[in-house]
């Protein structure tokens, strides 16, 4: 009974794999194999096989990198390290933004699966990216409401603002722009707890770039640090040193951020405040 059941299940799985396996030619020496292996962004993985004299090159055509980019994931050093670790685990390499490996003909099946599995696992970064995005959106809604209640008549609140600095373009969650000399323009950046060192260094670069750009050098800055208990001390020091004011909230204090925004903004928007 047990043997018959296992045999039946094996046949069902084999039939599923066979029925959903696709192969299409791309010239005489190239073939695209699509396998029933799902990625986090709901794609079936495609692998390209190229014949090169007496060996084969198997790669993903850069589709994994393109998928991560199109989903808005900007690769940090930590992301690159994650991909490198995945590549090592599956005995493949990442070169020119492609997951790839060379092999002999008798190694093709194993190599195709290795490239496909590495491609699927690398998209797992989208899970944490989407979680972080959701967390930021929730806090951003709280901050937006707090700013609405705090806003003086001569201050304009702008949301999701891109500012072109001297070296790069920077994105802020909010800019409270003073319409008259009575209030100083202030920016708000919400920093989630994932990859704190990378986020701190990016924030530091952004602040230094803004201060070296004449148009923005006098703008004040507020950093809202989420999940502060998960940040390392060096990362916190970078942000605290370069932001004019910070609000650190632990994971169980996010609901309290609204109450702390008004006093911070009143302090930052004061015209006499100096950097």
Same domain, 59 and 116: yes
pLDDT, one tens digit per residue, over 80-90 is 777 888 999 99
CA atoms within 13 A on the CB side of 91: 8
Cα–Cα distance measured from residue 59 to residue 99, given in angstroms and rounded to the nearest whole number: 5
Is 134 inside any structural domain?
Answer: yes
131 close to 82: Cβ distance less than 8 angstroms? no
Distances (CA, A) of 270 to 43, 219, 266: 51, 11, 6
Q: What percent of the chain has pLDDT over 70?
A: 88
Report yes or no on 9 lying in a domain: yes
152 lies in a domain? yes
In this structure, the answer to whether residues 142 and 255 fall within a common structural domain is yes
Taking Cα atoms as reference points, which of 207, 204, 211 lies closest to residue 234? 204
Q: What is the pLDDT of residues 35-68, one digit of tens each?
A: 998 887 778 899 999 999 889 999 999 888 777 6
- pLDDT category, 180, cuts 50, 70, 90? low
The two tokens of residue 204 are 């530091």
Q: Cα 16 to the chain's mean position, in Å?
A: 34
The pLDDT confidence band at residue 116, using thresholds 50, 70 and 90, is very high
User: Are 104 and 136 within one domain?
Assistant: no
Same domain, 239 and 143: yes
Beta bridge pairs of residue 269:
none
What does the buried/exposed string (b/e) look like for 69-78 if buried means 16 or more CB atoms within 10 Å of the residue's CB?
A: eeeebeebee
What is the pLDDT, as a whole number, of residue 178? 79
Residue 196 CA to residue 121 CA, distance in Å, equals 23
pTM attached to this predicted model: 0.58
Residue given tokens 């930021």 in the structure block: 136
Domain stops at, among 78, 99, 123: 123
Q: Both 201 and 228 in a single domain?
A: yes
Of 123, 154, 171, the residue that ends a domain is: 123
Q: What does the pLDDT read at residue 273? A: 47
Which one of 99, 123, 147 terminates a domain? 123
- Most confident stretch, 2-11, 78-87, 177-186, 259-268: 259-268
> Taking 50 as the threshold, does the pLDDT of residue 274 lie above it?
no
CB 140 within 8 A of CB 114: no
Establish if 275 belongs to a structural domain.
Answer: no
Question: Where in the sequence is the domain holding 70, given as residue range(s)?
Answer: 2-123
**pLDDT for 199:** 86
Most confident of 65-74, 103-112, 151-160: 103-112
């Amino acid at each position: 009974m047990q043997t018959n059941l296992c045999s039946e299940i094996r046949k069902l799985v084999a039939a599923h794999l066979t029925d959903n396996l696709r192969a299409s030619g791309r010239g005489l020496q190239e073939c695209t194999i699509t396998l029933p292996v799902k990625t986090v962004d709901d794609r079936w993985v495609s692998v390209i096989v190229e014949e090169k004299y007496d060996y084969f090159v198997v790669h993903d055509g850069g589709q994994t990198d393109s998928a991560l980019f199109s989903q808005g994931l900007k690769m940090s050093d930590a992301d690159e390290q994650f991909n490198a670790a995945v590549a090592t685990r599956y005995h493949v390499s990442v070169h020119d933004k492609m997951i790839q490996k060379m092999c002999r003909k008798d190694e093709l099946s194993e190599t195709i699966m290795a490239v496909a599995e590495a491609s699927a696992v690398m998209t797992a970064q989208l899970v944490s990216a989407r979680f972080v995005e959701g967390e930021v959106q929730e806090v951003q809604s709280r901050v937006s409401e707090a700013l609405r209640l705090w806003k003086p008549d001569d201050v304009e609140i702008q949301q999701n603002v891109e500012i072109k600095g001297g070296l790069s373009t920077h994105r802020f969650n909010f800019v409270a722009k003073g319409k008259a000399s009575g209030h100083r323009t202030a920016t708000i950046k919400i920093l989630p707890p994932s990859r704190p060192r990378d986020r701190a260094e990016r924030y530091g670069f952004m602040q230094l770039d803004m201060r070296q750009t004449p148009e923005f050098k006098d703008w004040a800055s507020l950093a809202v640090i989420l999940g502060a208990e998960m940040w390392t001390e060096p990362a916190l020091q970078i942000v605290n040193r370069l932001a004019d004011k910070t609000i650190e909230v632990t994971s169980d204090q996010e609901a309290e951020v609204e109450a702390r925004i008004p006093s911070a903004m009143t302090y930052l928007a004061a015209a006499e405040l100096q950097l």
